Structure 1
Amino acid sequence: MNKRPDVFRVCALAIACAILLRLASGGLGAMVAQALGHEKMASVLLYLGTGRVACPAAPQEQTPDPTQLTAPGPEDNPVEFSPEDGQQIQVGNFAGVDVDIPTLLQMPLDWDLTEQSPTVLILHTHGSESYTGIPQEAQSSGYRSLDTAYNMVSMGDALAEYLTQAGIGVIHDRTLYDYPSYNDAYNLARAAIQGYLAQYPSICLVIDLHRDAAEDAAGNQVAFTAQIAGQEMAQLMIVTGSGSDTLPHPNWKENLALALKLQVQLEKQYPGLCRPLALRAQRYNQDLLPGAILVEVGTAGNTWDQAMASIEPLARSILTLAKGTEPE
């Protein structure tokens, strides 16, 4: 075996050590210490002394944080709707009222979500609603959680961040209105919405994020999913109310007109992501603002990851409506 490379390395190491000792004795000890601590110098000395090469440690695998999001900007121009757009969507009319979808789609949406701040309020009447498979320590009873990292508040956090990054002024109310009393949730949320609207008259859009629940014949929770661009997402369901004798909502068609427009935009961009829009003889506090809607993000049978994956499409579709609609 040829020993000459080893001899050269040993000689070079001796010379390097002599130089460093001379520098240290000359009052340059701090500089020498810094040089010895440098990663490249350490690699050189390792090679001269042993002949081995130091390999840098592999970087740790980074797990994406679903709340670290990047959203596109809002549409620069108002969007147009035609009567034919109504053929792309389905509506479950559980309220039994007359609905003219083509006419409602052409009702003007006179707002600019980018013009003033804040323009969007996100809240959760049933904030403790959660999903299948969350950590046991985060679980409450009946697919609920008081941990805001796993309940509807986390969905609102993500949606708020998307819209904020796109230049939309957002208020996210992270209050759990259904805890400790589930029955008082809508009354408590109503008072909060009224307070926000009084304090911030610039608010045009109120989004109440929920998650739905459905069981099969055996009592098992059912998950509603869609494959979008190769990713499994929880299906969304937009819900609007027409009011009732005890819960009047005389202007419900304005809310439905907005909901239909959002449903169309979602279906155009992400076919199959939405379940049929649900119109029910309820109010859902939507009488407080024509721009109030309720969105069910998946069901109790869906996983948290599936639900979180559907927030980006929801945000992108909202952004397409940021400038309102073209006047007729």
Structure 2
Amino acid sequence: MKKPLFRRLSALVCSLLTLWTAVITADSDSLRAAVEAAANTSPAQLILRWELGDLFGTDMLTAVNVLALCQSPLLMQQRSTIVPLMAQLITQTPEDEDEPDAPSPPPSTPAVDIKSDDLAFADNGVPSQTVIPSNPKSYTVAGSAYIKNTSSRTLDAEELSGGSFSARLGTEGPQVLIVHSHATEAYTMPKGQEYDPSGTYRTRDTSCNMVRIGDEVAAVLSGYGISVLHDRTLHDAASYNDAYNSSLQSIKSYLEKYPTLTYVLDLHRDAIQDANGNQYKLITGEDPRVAQCCLVMGLGHDGWKDNLQLAVAVQQQLNALSPTLMRPIAARGYRYNQQMCSGSLLVEIGAAGNSLDEAIMGARYFAKGFAETILAVAAD
């Protein structure tokens, strides 16, 4: 008698276990989900759900939900209204939820727009030219940069065209020094805007000479967050022939006082004339209101390659900005004080035949390309 009774009890237990398993896994759509449901549901929970009238969980309310409803007759009366809301929340898929915004990229320095509405662009009556290299055989071609090499140095175009250079912006203190070895160089002003000359196409009036051009370059660089020192000394006023020695002393003094300086820009203008001495203005093919510019690099010192690599990188950036803004780089066997640091450039902004407004526009565009070049490597 004991064996049949034992077998009946065993069969009853197995039946109850089977029923229990069927109940808790009824909503599972995979074997894994069924196993997890069985593991997370105890017989005590089933008993509680049975007592609350929801053994099979058809109304999508948990035992805790039902217990909470039972504490308020008003809520219990609205069970039929609450159930659909709970079901909607439970069955909501991740796609229904608002996805978090993708992380924003790190902030970058915004580009500075070159303005021209503050300039009049009155005609000064000087004929114009646009210098564009036509025969690559006459140049060393490093990427998009053309170099006219009149020095004794041999240039490696592939080495120069990589866009790398050694000078880097510091994070604190002054970063760029602007000087003018030939500060009194000036332009051809329209009628009614003439300056008081101190020589042929020269003036000590800093609102019209290279000091004004330096102010324009400094303003654009500052707009990019670059810290600039501007030496406004008229180094050629006392003696034109001693101008570079005078500016060299200023550069040494600034570098000693501000060791964070890594770039030195010596701003000049060129002079283009015919056999009769008639001046020509240099303008870009993109905009006749913008003067062409030229980088003049001194290769007569041991650190010439660092400076020339910087010049090529700046030239390539400016070629992308305005393809005819820059004339070919002039590489010469002098020093031009560029031995003082690896971030030295001599920049000629326009020519004597350009108007001041045209030169200002050329200076602004140069400063934009220069700033974006040195900031790009600083961010790497």
Structures share fold, TM-score greater than 0.5: yes
Q: Deviations over 1:128-153 (max 9, x none)?
A: 00001263343232100100000000
Q: Deviations over 1:72-131 (max 9, x none)?
A: xxxxxxxxxxxxx92322111111320012202337434543622211000100000000
Name the residue aligned to 2:159: 103
Name the residue aligned to 1:175: 233
Name the residue aligned to 1:19: none
User: Contact (CA 8 Å) 1:110, 1:324: kept in 2 or not?
Assistant: no
Which residue, out of 301, 308, 323, partners 2:360?
Answer: 308
Moved over 6 A (4+): none
Name the residue aligned to 1:36: none
Q: How does 1:159-174 map to 2 (within 5 A)?
A: 159-174=217-232
Which residue, out of 259, 273, 287, partners 1:215?
Answer: 273
Deviation of 1:310 after TM superposition, in Å, equals 0.9
User: Contact (CA 8 Å) 2:293, 2:326: kept in 1 or not?
Assistant: yes
Gaps of 5+ in 2: 1-115, 120-140
CA distance in 2, matches of 1:195, 1:154: 22
Q: Deviations over 1:217-249 (max 9, x none)?
A: 221112111143x45211000000111xxxxx1
Which residue, out of 278, 290, 295, partners 1:238?
Answer: 295
Mean Cα deviation higher: 114-123 or 104-113: 104-113
Deviation of 1:211 after TM superposition, in Å, equals 0.3
- For normalisation by structure 2, the TM-score amounts to 0.60
**Aligned amino acid, residue 306 of structure 2:** E
**Aligned amino acid, residue 293 of structure 2:** L
Q: Deviations over 1:284-315 (max 9, x none)?
A: 00001110110000111111111011122111
Deviation of 1:326 after TM superposition, in Å, equals 8.7
User: Contact (CA 8 Å) 1:114, 1:322: kept in 2 or not?
Assistant: no
Which residue, out of 186, 201, 215, partners 1:143?
Answer: 201
Q: How does 1:58-137 map to 2 (within 5 A)?
A: 64-65=117-118, 86-106=142-162, 108-113=164-169, 115-133=171-189, 135-137=193-195
User: Contact (CA 8 Å) 2:143, 2:316: kept in 1 or not?
Assistant: no
CA distance in 1, matches of 2:319, 2:327: 10
Given the superposition, is the C-alpha separation of residues 317 and 237 from structure 1 closer, same or farther in structure 2, using an over 3 Å criterion?
A: same
CA distance in 2, matches of 1:316, 1:175: 24
The alignment yields a C-alpha RMSD, in angstroms, of 2.2
Name the residue aligned to 2:250: 192
CA distance in 2, matches of 1:326, 1:93: 29
- Higher-Rg structure is 2
CA distance in 1, matches of 2:362, 2:208: 15
Which residue, out of 280, 292, 306, partners 2:332?
Answer: 280
User: Contact (CA 8 Å) 1:114, 1:168: kept in 2 or not?
Assistant: no
- For normalisation by structure 1, the TM-score amounts to 0.69
Which residue, out of 241, 261, 270, partners 1:203?
Answer: 261
**Aligned amino acid, residue 350 of structure 2:** G
Q: Aligned with 2:374: secondary structure?
A: coil
Which residue, out of 232, 250, 262, partners 2:302?
Answer: 250
Name the residue aligned to 1:263: 315
How much identity, in percent, do the aligned residues show?
39
Which is bigger in relative contact order (C-alpha 8 A, separation at least 6)?
1
Q: Aligned with 1:116: secondary structure?
A: coil
Gaps of 5+ in 1: 1-62, 67-84, 244-248
User: Contact (CA 8 Å) 2:195, 2:203: kept in 1 or not?
Assistant: no
Aligned length: 242
CA distance in 2, matches of 1:327, 1:232: 33
CA distance in 1, matches of 2:353, 2:265: 22
Q: How does 1:48-59 map to 2 (within 5 A)?
A: none
**Aligned amino acid, residue 117 of structure 1:** G
Mean Cα deviation higher: 311-320 or 208-217: 311-320
